[in-house]
Structure 1
Amino acid sequence: MLPTLTALLCLETLPKPIIWAKPSIMVTNGNSVNIWCQGAQSASEYQLYFEGSFFALERPKPSRSMNKVRFFISQMTSHTAGIYTCFYQSGELWSKSSNPLKLVVTGLYDTPNLWVYPQPEVTLGENVTFFCQLKTATSKFFLLKERGSNHIQNKYGNIQAEFPMGPVTRAHRGTYRCFGSYNDYAWSFPSEPVTLLITGGVENSSLAPTDPTSSLDYWEFDLSTNESGLQKDSAFWDHTTQNLIRIGLACIILITLVWLLTEDWLSKRKDHEEANRLTNWECRRRWRMQHYFEEEQRNAISMMELKATPGAL
């Protein structure tokens, strides 16, 4: 019974928390950043992991009704840039891991130059190419479109990298910056912004990509995370989580009761069968003993009759 109940309890897990960074996931070298982890109202402890290893622990303040904690990094460096995840504990259970949070430190190398060919203002449907150049040799370049795209293009290079686009649509217009890097999370200073303007007639929707970077390698960054939106989503999520936990506990209790009743019924049935077996055995023993005594009595009577008969012996 105990192993079965333990297995059932292990199946009960908590949904994953939400993780985000303030003021941004891109932090200038030496500046501070706050990492927030938001879970259930019943959470008693939060743990933050960096690159898969334990990094920090925080507990919600009991004086406040909060379902989130803050992990403070006082100075962002290349050693604190990378992938973060968080977990929380409620009762004896631990939640699933949050989605990965990618923190990037900027301002480590020289400032690259960015320009676009043939020019910053092109006609709808033309092909353009962004060039990012860094005087100090690097291994990777990143192109980022500000405000509007969560995709960051990346290209390998030494001194320069090319980012071709086209045929351009109205989705391509906007302001771009580029960075140089020796790894995915330690970047140079940003380049000066370059704004791409699109002019021309009617757009051919059949040729228009949904995103300017859809045909290139990219990272998925959520650059417009809204804390109030997270709180609204989490309020609904907390209510749903609590209901699921209650339903799960009720199911465990019900299964436990059914198991106990089944064990009790099987035990009584076994005892009843054992009693019947003993009763049958006792009846057979008594019958054999009675049959034996009756046989002895008949033999004794026969001997007495034989002795009493004259000339019988």
Structure 2
Amino acid sequence: MPSTLTALLCLGLCLSQMISSQKYTLMKPIIWAKPNSIIPKGNPVTIWCKGIHEAIEYHLLFKGQLSALERQKSHGLMNKVRFPIPAMTLHTAGRYNCIYLSGELWSKPSDPLDLVVTGMYDIPTLSVQPGPEVVSGENVTFHCHLETATNTFFLLKEGRSSRPQQRYGKNQADFFMGPMTPAHRGTYRCFGSYNDFAWSLPSEPVKLLVTGSIGDTSFAPTEPNSYDGEDSWDVYPSTTKTGFQKELTFWDHTAQNLFRIGMAVLILVSIAGLLVMDWLSRKRTQERAIRASSGNAGEGSEHKDPSTNDQEMQC
């Protein structure tokens, strides 16, 4: 029996080590900003972080340090939280991440969100060569100029799917694009900046028209013309979980639960097996003892004392 207990103890320790060494990873949260990630100075913005329904706490990280946190206030579900910023300034512009806590596990940080404040410098000028109307297949070059000396320029096309292009220059930067396709049509602006998160006021818009042939206006731009900080400037569009991501999350949790159940069943089966083996061992030991005692009794009856037999006969 002591050997069985030792075996059970060793088995429990080994399985516990296996379970604890198994690394369960939570789904990485999603972070985005509304109305967008490029905000004029003084305007409000809200940072959203989305995790899983089992999350009990969210942390917003700014430049790698804790900036704000949100805890579950009730027993309801909390798969996303908001972190409002009342007014954009130089101090609130920068790189953000978020993480969440589920049970005793922290998720990995989200992808970075670069929050940009505009309106910090003079207005640059933007021009395009050979002109704002080109034929499909031609090349164009955008020239962005800022009187105030700077070292970085950004060219941005209005629209949700747009991401800024970055160039370096003291007072001017050139953005080469081509060959032109209808996908390049739209409204462009440029910004000057001394860092990636504090930009100048936007330039006046430049509409680029790409036609199939001269005079063909079938590819006329349809994007908004005004810079109003609305969704047209959402260069980092809000990311939501697609059905595929939800399915991955579901299967991730299912796999973890199946692993835990499997390990529990394995432990129970192993313990049951060891107990059965111990019972069989003790049963065999008892049977051998019974057989041994029966054999000893038989031998004793065959080797009786002769004097005892004589006494019995006399009686």
TM-score higher than 0.5 here?
A: yes
Displaced runs of 4 or more, over 6 A: 270-277
Alpha carbons of 1:173 and 1:242: their partners in 2 closer, same or farther (altered >3 Å)? Answer: closer
Note the C-alpha offset of 1:269.
5.5
Q: Matched residues in 1 for 2:257 and 2:212: separation?
A: 63
Match of 1:241 in 2: 249
2:19 is matched with which residue?
8
Alpha-carbon distance, 1:84 to partner: 1.2
Task: Give the Cα–Cα distance (whole angstroms) in 2 for the partners of residues 224 and 35 of structure 1.
Answer: 12
Q: 2:117 aligns with which of 81, 94, 105?
A: 105
For 2:53 and 2:98, the matched residues in 1 are separated by 16
For residues 97-136 of structure 1, what are the structure 2 equivalents within 5 Å? 97-136=109-148
Check the 8 A contact 1:60/1:67 in 2, yes or no.
no
Alpha-carbon separation, structure 1, partners of 2:160 and 2:87? 28
Secondary structure in 2 matching 1:198: strand
Q: What do the CA deviations read for 1:267-305 (whole angstroms, capped 9, x no partner)?
A: 87689889999xx9xxxxxxxxxxxxxxxxxxxxxxxxx
1:118 shift after superposition? 2.0
Structure 1, unmatched stretches of 5+, are: 203-220, 281-313
Counterpart residue identity of residue 106, structure 2: W
Query: Equivalents in 2 of 1:237, 1:125: separation in Å?
Result: 38
Q: Give the Å deviation of 1:138.
A: 0.5
Q: How does 1:247-286 map to 2 (within 5 A)?
A: 247-262=255-270, 265=273
Is 2:191 the partner of 1:179? yes
* Matched letter for residue 176 of structure 2: P
Secondary structure of the 2:149 match is: coil
Cα displacement string for residues 182-206 of structure 1 (whole angstroms, at most 9, x for unaligned residues): 111111111010001123439xxxx
Q: CA deviation at 1:41?
A: 1.7
Q: Which moved more, 1:265-274 or 1:172-181?
A: 265-274
Do the aligned residues in 1 keep the contact of 2:31 with 2:113 (CA within 8 Å)?
yes
Tell me, what secondary structure is at the counterpart of 2:66? strand
The Cα of 1:18 is off from its aligned counterpart by 1.7
Mapped to 2, the partners of 1:52 and 1:165 lie a distance apart of 35
Q: Give the letter aligned to residue 190 of structure 1.
A: P
Matches of 2:83 and 2:105, distance apart in 1: 22
Alignment of 1:47 with 2:59, yes or no, is: yes
Contact 2:161–2:236 at 8 Å: present in 1 too? no
Aligned to 2:48: 36
* Identical aligned residues as a percent: 50
Asked if 1:152 is matched to 2:160, the reply is no
Asked whether 1:139 is paired with 2:151, we answer yes
Separation (CA, whole Å) in 2 of partners of 1:113 and 1:41: 48
The residue type paired with residue 125 of structure 1 is G
State the AA in 2 paired with 1:75. Answer: A
Q: Do the aligned residues in 1 keep the contact of 2:44 with 2:88 (CA within 8 Å)?
A: yes
Give the alignment's Cα RMSD to 1 decimal. Answer: 3.8
Judge which range, 173-182 or 83-92, deviates more.
Answer: 83-92
| Counterparts of 2:101 and 2:118, CA distance in 1 | 33
CA distance in 1, matches of 2:67, 2:138: 49
Give the length in aligned residue pairs: 271
Change (3 A) 1:126 1:249: closer
